[in-house]
Amino acid sequence: MIKKLEINEFIAGSKNHVLIDARSESEHAKGHIPNACNLPILCNEHRVIIGTLYKQQGREAAVHKGFELVGPLFASFIDTANLLAPQRVVYIYCARGGMRSNILAWVLGMAGFKVYVLEGGYKKFRNYVLATFTAPLNLIVLGGKTGSGKTELLNQLPYSASYTTIDLEGLANHKGSAYGGIDMPAQGTHENFENRLATIINSQTPQHYFIVENESIAIGQLRLPRAVYVQMQAAPIVELLLPYDLRLMRIAHEYGELNKEQLITQTKTLTKRLGGLNTQLAVDAITNNECNVWIALLMQYYDKCYTNGLQNYKNTTHIKLEIDHNFNSNLSKLSTVIRQLTSISN
């Protein structure tokens, strides 16, 4: 059985079944629907061959060559699908819902699979993603100066039917500062970052709240969708106020044992912002294992950036929440505030 589905029905149905991307390895790597398995009808090498032939001899020659290359692989497609989907139900997409997904659907359909194909393919999905970011969102921003423990508290907020937390730094594989990429996995592509973010948002109703950490528009090499960033700046903000000495201690614990060469390299990228003298003082402190000294120098810069950034927030709801070294107490305080904010419209 083969059935074509529009984007919303396809996404809903694929949540509990195997999702197959029939595009090439390079297309999949650049951007794909989250959790999709890659089963290329045409691999990277074959795509080059077909593309060249299409330009030189036209569509008919390219299609003929395509079947010549793909035909011998039909049995392997079935074998792979059997391993991926023992229940024999698959959801398939290609670039535009055309030849590649239809060929794979036909092969697997002939083998007895129930097959659902995305009408419009990955292009339709990307339009769906971009539309997600322009729709109104119920956001609450968790703020606080560097070292306040925002990410830890965000990720430990208890489950609620009213809100979902989104760890933007976790999605981006970057902690947001000049040092945020050290010892972190590769960030991946901008498309995949957007795809994962949109999938989280679309998993909830329009009335749902999303709790996000205060971020600049850039998280490492990736950027927040501008429409989401603009909405964040108009959202209520809960600002964590942790004493300076406790923030310094937290930063020292998180960054103090990192590789010195990497710390020095990243510090030098801030020369224009820190100034030559402070940069050299920070580098010397790292070299001499004076952890608190270089962190204090960097905190001056990041605290100033944070204070300036707050001026971009336009919502009058600005709650200042004093916290201390007691994580459980801090989490309880924050949970209470979040519950209050998310119940206002309910």
> What is the spatial distance between Cα 8 and Cα 124, in angstroms, rounded to a whole number?
10
Classify 295 as helix, strand or coil.
helix
Per-residue tokens: 169: 């730094």
Q: For 36, which DSSP code?
A: P
Backbone angles phi, psi at 13, to 5 degrees: -70, -35
Among candidate residues 314, 309, 280, the one with its CA nearest the CA of residue 297:
280
* CB proximity list for 54: less than 8 A, separation 6 or greater: 61, 62
Look-up of token digits 């020369």: 271
Among candidate residues 141, 146, 142, the one with its CA nearest the CA of residue 307:
146
Residues catalogued as catalytic: 94
- Taking CA atoms, 6 is separated from 20, 69, 122, in Å, by 16, 30, 12
* Residues recorded for the chain: 346
Find out whether 237 and 316 touch, Cβ atoms under 8 Å.
no
Cα dihedral 273/276/278/284 (nearest 10): 130
Look-up of token digits 């998280």: 219
Three state DSSP letters for 164-195 = EEECHHHHHCCCCCCCCCCCCCCCCCHHHHHH
Look-up of token digits 């749902």: 208
